[in-house]
Each structure stands twice: as C-alpha cells, then as structure tokens.
Amino acid sequence: MLLIGEMKMDNKQKAREIIKVFDKLYNDAECTLKYSDPLQLLIATQLAAQCTDERVNIVTETLFKKYKNVYDFANADIAELEQDIRSTGFYRNKARNIINCCKMIINDFGGKVPNTMEDLLKLPGVGRKTANLVLGDIFGIPGIVVDTHAKRLSQRIGFTKNDDPEKIEYDLMKIIPRENWSKFCHQLVYHGRAVCNARKPKCDECLIRPYCDYGRI
C-alpha cells in the first residue's frame, strides 16, 4: 500500500495514476518492430527474442523483401534462412521455428495467422509474449506483453514480485484495466528506454516516481 499525502493507494490506484502520466508522455506508443501484415509481426517478434528491435528491423528490411509470404518462408532453405537472420542470434533455432511455424499456418490455418491465444501457442517458436503482441496489435484483442522492460518496470513499481513472465502477466492483468493492457505494455517499453533503464534509471527525471517503490527508496 502506497501512501501519497494522506491518501493510501493500492496497486490499482497506482496504475490509474501511472496511466494518466504515460498517456501524456507516450500517448502514441506502439510496437517498435516494423511490419506490414500479421505474418511479418509474428516473425519479427520471434526474431526479437534475445535481440534488440533495432537489429531486427535492420534484418527484416531485406528479409521481408526476399520472403514475401507464408509460402516463401515455409519453403525456405533452412541453411540460407539461417544466414539471412544470423545477426539476430540463436539463428538456427529461429530459422527452424519460422519454417515449421509457417508450414503449420498453411496446413492447419489456411495460410492465415490465427487469432486466438490457443491457436497461436500451437505454432513453433510462439510463446505468450509473441501471442499477446499479435493479438493486441493485429486483432485488437488486449493482451499483456511481458518483455524485459515490462518485467523490470513492473518489479520496480511494485506491481509484482515474480520473475516468471507468465506470473507477471497474470499479476498485471489483475491491476491494469483490460482496455489498457496492450497500450500500457508499449508505454512501459518507451519509459524503460527513455528513463527507467536497467543499469542507471533516471529516477530524478521520472514523472511516475511518486508511485514507484524503487524510486522512493
């Protein structure tokens, strides 16, 4: 329970105040991966595992010109695809998952990226983070995307004590209003990069510091 002046604030109240601040600072926050269709976002998100969005965007700029659709990826030569995505790291696993993922999309979903959590999680290389991002940004179905920024900021603010991304997701689902889920996670990324970075958070510049456990230490 956070005490602001004479008013006690629980996590839901803190969240409402933080959302007000974020909506002023990052009202246009959106996914920083570049894509033009659901498949491209699905693949870009898989490539972003243990890699920066900036690096992924450099790779996909040429990758999506070479592989134009789900059939191109499904029929790709794995050794060639590995080299195409090598700089994103873990390229062997990523290449295998991308090819198998696209084959399943063709065989099981008529060549279209599925629009439910249950079906997305069936795809090779797709976890809850990727599924929630696709659901929120493509299909307008709110989801909590727990990346490194969301994890770090949620722990520092005091929204969760968990380290497991799925547990953090469920903790945030209880605190953040559902209509804000997707946008709030993008805003966490923006704030994490601009202010609350991993090594040297700029607490003195942070406008949500009054609501943050870490910032008040």
Stretch 113-128: mean pLDDT, rounded?
Answer: 98
Name the catalytic one among 14, 84, 94, 129.
Answer: 129
175: closest CA among 153, 149, 204?
153
pLDDT beyond 80 at 83: yes
Name the catalytic one among 147, 151, 171, 183.
Answer: 147
pLDDT beyond 50 at 6: no
- The 10s digit of each residue's pLDDT in 63-73 is 999 999 999 99
Distance of CA 163 to the CA centre of its chain: 16
Secondary structure (3-state) at 103: helix
Mean pLDDT, the chain, whole residue set:
95
| Structural domain spans, the chain | 2-30+144-211, 38-139
Q: What is the DSSP letter of 9?
A: E
Q: Between 181-194 and 165-175, two packed helices, what is the crossing angle to 10 degrees?
A: 110
Q: Count the neighbouring beta carbons within 10 Å of the beta carbon of residue 67.
A: 22
The upper half-sphere exposure of residue 115, i.e. CA atoms within 13 Å in the direction of its Cβ, equals 10
- Considering the domain 38-139 in this protein, what is its CATH number? 1.10.340.30
Angstrom distance (rounded) from CA 89 to CA 32:
19
Does the 2-30+144-211 domain belong in CATH 3.30.230.70? no
Q: What is the pLDDT of residue 9?
A: 86
Q: Is 147 a catalytic residue?
A: yes
Stretch 188-210: mean pLDDT, rounded?
Answer: 96
List beta partners, residue 149: none
Q: What is the pLDDT of residue 40?
A: 98
- The 10s digit of each residue's pLDDT in 200-213 is 999 999 999 999 99
Q: Which percentage of the chain shows pLDDT scores above 70? A: 96
Q: Is 129 a catalytic residue?
A: yes
- The 10s digit of each residue's pLDDT in 11-27 is 999 999 999 999 999 99
